[in-house]
Amino acid sequence: MNFELALLKVLRERGLATAEGPDPLAALTYSKELDCKREAFRLVSRDLGFRDAHVYDVVAAPQPRHYRTTSRRRVAIIRGRPMLAHGDGRVEDLDRASTLEPDSHHKVYATITAELDRMRALPKKRTDSGDVKFFLNHVIVRGTDEELVVIFNVRLLDASLVRLLRGWTVALRRAIPAVAHVWIYNDPSGSRYYLEQDRPPGEVGAKKLHGAAATTLNIHGVIYQVGVFSFSQVNRAMMPELVQTVRRLALEPPLRPQGGPLPIIYDLYGGYGLFGAALAEDAAHIIEVDADETTVANARYNVKRVGGHVTALTMPVTATSVERRIPQFERQGAEGAPVVVILDPPRSGTAENVIAALAARNPDRVIHVFCGPDEISRSMKEWRAAGYVADIVVPLDLFPGTAGFEVIVRLVPAPKVSDDVREPRRRR
């Protein structure tokens, strides 16, 4: 049974209904939602390989509604008229605002809808197949009431479109002063992935309409520079708890003896260095790894800004890249320094054989961050086969109002069984 099915089972048993759309649990009181999630996680934990681990209670969200710092709308043509639909593609609830998004996001979408309604002619593009498509794929809003980023994901990028969207930018900033950055993101394929990275050679990737290429984020006094297109957790109110949990599991005793060398920390799928910068002052060296060059540059900057020593590698996290680019975990001159690996892959999980490649380098501990419980079982089997077991598990309700869930698992080398305590083989 996966987590979502377990959650539905608990909800049915308690006579609680879910809603359709982007916030299926938001109609419940948060106390009831959290209680159901705790029971559902207890049910699935039995099968996740946590037999000898200390499993903490689910950490509650401090702001369970109106928290999402990234939202989007898909552009749908309905009866010849462009309209903004929810990111899951539903058009039935076009006028219904999600209770998980801040009011400022709703104001952005309302302002853009008004601009769409004023248009007499719709800019379009004829595709290779002959279909005529509307110029706008998605509208993305990021940030909080204090600082917002608006991104227009477009199917074509030309001078007339830029002029049109400059006018929209003026209207947005007049209506919502918190709109500090406005960008065009070019996606000729019209992909359902609203920040698609694969585009034809020679295509312009993005164009600024207003503001800067990065925003700032303050977590526990660490100031991060975050690119406007970089992935970041959507629940900013929960990020301090997330960072603090990873930090505690990475550093708490007995990682190193008193007075021993500081650890070397590998932050894989590290993004802009959310965890690396938070750990930099207590590490001998931080190695940041991510596939996006701009994001890696921000990670390097963020770790250095807090005084950390950093190596930043732009590469996808695959078994081959780990073996070739990280042939052995370097001790950076610190004899006997412990090695900690932080692994925060996307929802789809790690690529094939990545776990085995990492385990072969014998880290002292691994902090594996799961974006959802459903990848845990597969990954735990791979870790056990590679000689690692979970010793601490911390579930966090990072996505209240939905069936989403975040789970942080700390893994350590499995205790070795000496020959003299093994059960003797029976003679035939």
Cα-Cα-Cα-Cα dihedral sign, residues 40, 44, 48, 49? positive
Rounded Cα gap, residues 23 and 384, in angstroms: 36
**How far is the CA of 378 from the CAs of 349, 353, 374, 390, in angstroms?**
9, 12, 8, 13
Distance CA 395, CA 242 (A): 10
In three state form, how does the secondary structure of the chain look?
CCHHHHHHHHHHHCCCCCCCCCCCCCCCCHHHHHHHHHHHHHHHHCCCCCCCCEECCCECCCCCCCCECEEEEEEEEECCEEEEEECCCCCCCCCCCCCCCCHHHHHHHHHHHHHHHHCCCCCEEECCCCCEEECEEEEEEEEECCEEEEEEEECCCCHHHHHHHHHHHHHHHHHCCCEEEEEEEECCCCCCCCCCCCCCCCCCCEEEEECCCEEEEEECCEEEEEECCCCCCCEHHHHHHHHHHHHHHHHCCCCCCCCCCCCEEEEECCCCCHHHHHHHHHCCEEEEEECCHHHHHHHHHHHHHCCCCEEEEECCCCHHHHHHHCCCCCCCCCCCCCEEEEECCCCCCCCCCHHHHHHCCCCCEEEEEECCHHHHHHHHHHHHHCCEEEEEEEEECCCCCCCCCEEEEEEEECCCCCHHHCCCCCCC
How high is the pLDDT of residue 398? 96
pLDDT at 209: 98
Give me the phi and psi of 208, to 5 degrees please.
Answer: -80, 135
Res 147: pLDDT? 96
pLDDT at 70 (0 to 100): 94
The model's pLDDT over 265-287, given as tens digits with 9 standing for 90+, comes to 999 999 999 999 999 999 999 99
CA-CA distance, 279 to 393, in Å (whole number)? 20
pLDDT at position 181: 98
Q: Angle of helix 30-45 relative to helix 3-13, nearest 10 degrees?
A: 130
Q: Give the Cα-Cα-Cα angle 337, 359, 418 (nearest 5 degrees).
A: 85
Q: Are strands 214-219 and 222-227 parallel, antiparallel or unpaired?
A: antiparallel
CB 11 within 8 A of CB 18: yes
Residues 6 or more apart whose Cβ sits within 8 Å of residue 163: none
> Order of strands across the sheet with 81-86?
81-86, 70-78, 136-144, 147-154, 179-186, 206-210
User: Rounded to a whole number, what is the distance in angstroms from the first to the last CA of the chain?
Assistant: 41
Q: What is the pLDDT of residue 335?
A: 62
Rounded to the nearest 5 degrees, what angle is found at the Cα of 242, between the Cα atoms of 240 and 247? 95
Per-residue pLDDT, 379: 95
Q: Are 346 and 379 a contacting pair, CB within 8 Å?
A: no
Q: What are phi and psi of 363, to 5 degrees?
A: -65, 155
Positions of the chain with pLDDT lower than 50, given as ranges: 130, 132, 332-333, 424-428
Q: Letter for the amino acid at 198?
A: D
Question: Which one, of 338, 335, 336, 316, lies nearest residue 326 by Cα?
Answer: 316
Whole-model pTM: value is 0.91
Q: Cα–Cα–Cα angle for 391, 273, 349, nearest 5°?
A: 50
* Nearest of 215, 120, 122, 115 to residue 170 by alpha carbon: 115
- Sign for the CA dihedral angle at 60, 63, 64, 67 comes to negative
